[in-house]
Structure formats: C-alpha cells, structure tokens
Amino acid sequence: MSEFIAALERAFAPGAASSPIGALRRRAFETFAARGVPSLRDEDWKYTDLSRVLAAPCALSPAATASSALPAYVDGAARLVFVNGVYSAALSAAAALPAGVTVHRFDELATRAPDTLAPLLERQATGRAGPFAALSAAFAADGVYVDVAADAAPDSPLHVVFLRTDTAEPAFSAPQLLVSAGHHSRLTLVETHAGGAGSRVSAAVTEIRLADGATVDHYRIVDEPAAASHLGNVYLQPGRDAIATSWSFVVGAGLARVDLHAELAAPGAAVVLNGLFLATGKAHVDHHVRIDHAAPHTTSAQVYKGIANDRGRGVFNGKIVVHPDAQKISATQASNNLLLSDDAEIDTKPELEIYADDVVCQHGATIGRLDDDSLFYLRARGVPRDVAEAMLSYGFADEVVAPVAVPALKAWLEARLTGAAIGREDAA
C-alpha cells in the first residue's frame, strides 16, 4: 500500500459502523484501497502519471472558515462557499438562494437524515465512478445536495465555491456537489474550485440528476495553484427530454484530471459537454469523457479545446458508447488542440463504440500550432508577435467561451485567456 493511502487510512474517521453513512464510508474506502492508485499501465490512466503527485502522505485539510478572496465572478451572486471542505456561513450568501432551490449540507444530512444521504453516495461507493469518486465518498465530511423543485426556474445562477486555504503540508479534501433537478425545472449552476497556495489533492465529485424535461447548465471552473492536484468526477443523468449542459474550464492546477460520465437512459435525453483547458508551466490536464447512449432518440454533442504551452501537457479521451438497440442516436465529438511550445504535448483519443445501426456518430480531432499565414497577416500589420499569438489563441478558444451565458464568468474567462495565452502571469 502506498504511503498516500496509508496516511489517509490513519486519518480515516468514518463514524459509527452501525449508521448507514459510517458503513457506506467504510465500504467506499475499501473500494478505493482495494483498487489502489492507478498506474500508467491502466488504460484509463495511460497518459496521466499519478505516482509522483500521489506518492507523499497527505493530511486532511484543516478546518478553516476564512480564506483568500472569492473569484470576481461570484461577487454578489447567490452562493454556497466551502473552505477546506467545510461550509463557511460567513462567505456564503445562502439567504439569496433562488426560489425553488433547497440546499442540504452533508454535515446536517448525516445526522438528521442519513437514509437520504447514503443512497446519494451509493454510486460512488461501489467504485463504478472510478477510484477517486470512492475516495471522495469516504472522506466527504461536508458536501452539498441541491434540490430544485419541479417547474422552478430561477433566473439567476447558483454558485458553489470550494476554496482552499494556504497550506504548508500536503492536504487532502473531498468536495461534493450533488444536484437533483425536478420535473421541468431549469437551473444554472457555477461550480468553482480555487484558492490558496500549497500542495494539495482534491477528489471532487459532482453528480447532476435531471427529472423529465429538466434543463441544467453547469459550469465547472478549476483554477488551482501549480502545486495542486485536482481529481474531478462529473456524472450527468438526464431524464426523458431533459437537457444537461456541462462546461469544464481548467485554467489552473499542476495536475487536473476530470472524468465526465453522462448516462442517457431515457428517450429524448440530451447532453452537451464542452471544455477548455490551458496547460501552461508544467501543468498536466486530462479530460476523460464517457457517454452512454442507452436509450433510443438520445443526443450528445461535445467540443473540447485545449491549449498547451511551455511544458504543459493536455490529454483528452472521449468515448461514445451506443448500446444495443439504442437506435436513432446522434453523437458528435470534437477535440481540437493547440500546441504553443515544442516542449508541450497533446495526447488525444476520441473513441466510438457502437452496437446499433441507425445512428449518426462523428468525431474529429486536430492538433497543431497557430497558423503561420494568420500570424504573418497580423505581424505584417504591425501587431507584436505575442499579441498576435494571444489574439489567435483567443480566437481558437472563443468557440467554447462565447456561448457562456453567465456574463461575469464569461468576462473573467476572456480576460484570463488573453493573459494566459501571452504567458503573462500578471494578467487577468
């Protein structure tokens, strides 16, 4: 057993085995420990080496309430803020929650209604969602369960922010965001992982279940320091005629791995998955998408864009599975990547597994640097090289950023992209 797992086991305090939650946490941890930290020999982890970042022992993040400032785009909005995995009433604006949105914290559910919480974590505990979702379920002390009432359609977005304080020692936390969107409801959800400096590991899980006809727009932003390892897990389950849209923006973190899984098990269900990552410095960003078309008349569309600079490395693995008898499927997928440095690397693997015949499935992948002619055009008009590159990279990323429907977030992303593309640390 690795030191990483051993240290976590020592810190593991799941609560009484007799309670459903205690039992579930034990089971989840056993699932993780039995599986162990994946190695490069695992097909799913072929391009992402965890042996370095998950070698050292990790303590649990200390409880804290104060933290560095909230991201600019969160200001003034309805928000739930967790610092080092613990709910912070001071930073949250829970009173401003939109009508029809009810929020339950794991902390209180575990004591008040453990029988409600346990089934919510069941999928993670079984290991079906991967080793780090199981690890997250074992340690998620305080997560959030958002319940949207049927027909509710709040007009402002709900922010859930997971902040970390500066830490001297490597620290571990397990943020959890579970959403249940009621019949014909609409929700815009912005999930942010950000905060202070220091080495750390997060095993974060987001699960969004949509009842028939519901619509959820989910934005997920990872903006962590270079010493941070982010292991994210997103699960989407739209009901009949429901539409789940999930955006993954990874603009920071030394190592970020985001596993997205959408299960389309009801006719008319649709998912739209978009993503953008920046891998600068020595960053390593890995998106793993799996879409299961298990019912007929389901639709999925994906666009993932990556920019790798310096010694950054970007990984994309997208798998579309069309199950037997799931006819009338439309699935598209694009993985477009920009390499801005000779030391950067992109590995992409867009997969299709199709067991039905009445389908239209397409995928495309491109990898290249900025177009020489376009650069020349701008340079010839007196635009400095770095600005020209920034303009072109921005143009490349804009397909994914332009449709962002939360104006403050869109402005923040645009500023961030322009700065990062030129390599200016002070930008944004």
Q: Could you list the residues that contact other proteins (CB under 8 A)? A: 43, 47, 324-325, 327, 337, 339-342, 344-369
Q: Is 310 left (phi over 0), alpha (psi -120 to 50) or beta?
A: left
CB of 35 or CB of 46, closer to other proteins: 46
- Least separation in angstroms between residue 89's CB and other proteins is 48
- Least separation in angstroms between residue 358's CB and other proteins is 6
Q: How far is CA 28 from the centre of its chain?
A: 21
- Least separation in angstroms between residue 295's CB and other proteins is 15
- Least separation in angstroms between residue 54's CB and other proteins is 23
- Least separation in angstroms between residue 370's CB and other proteins is 9
CB of 54 or CB of 307, closer to other proteins: 307
- Least separation in angstroms between residue 419's CB and other proteins is 20
CB of 252 or CB of 312, closer to other proteins: 312
b/e per residue, 2-32, with b = 16+ CB within 10 A? Answer: bebbebbeeeeebbeeebebbbbbbbbbebb
State the CB neighbour count (10 A cutoff) for residue 360.
10
CB of 150 or CB of 367, closer to other proteins: 367
d(CA 11, CA 5): 10
CB of 19 or CB of 341, closer to other proteins: 341
Angle between helices 3-11 and 20-35 (to 10 degrees): 170
CB of 223 or CB of 389, closer to other proteins: 389
State the CB neighbour count (10 A cutoff) for residue 385.
11
- Least separation in angstroms between residue 83's CB and other proteins is 39
CB of 143 or CB of 318, closer to other proteins: 318
3-state secondary structure (DSSP) of residue 106 = helix
d(CA 39, CA 28): 20
Pair 101, 146: CB distance under 8 Å: yes
CB of 102 or CB of 362, closer to other proteins: 362
- Least separation in angstroms between residue 334's CB and other proteins is 9
Say which amino acid occupies 2: S
Q: List % helix, strand, coil for the chain (3-state, nearest 5).
A: 25, 40, 35
C-alpha closest to that of 174 among 132, 197, 204? 204
Q: Is 207 left (phi over 0), alpha (psi -120 to 50) or beta?
A: beta
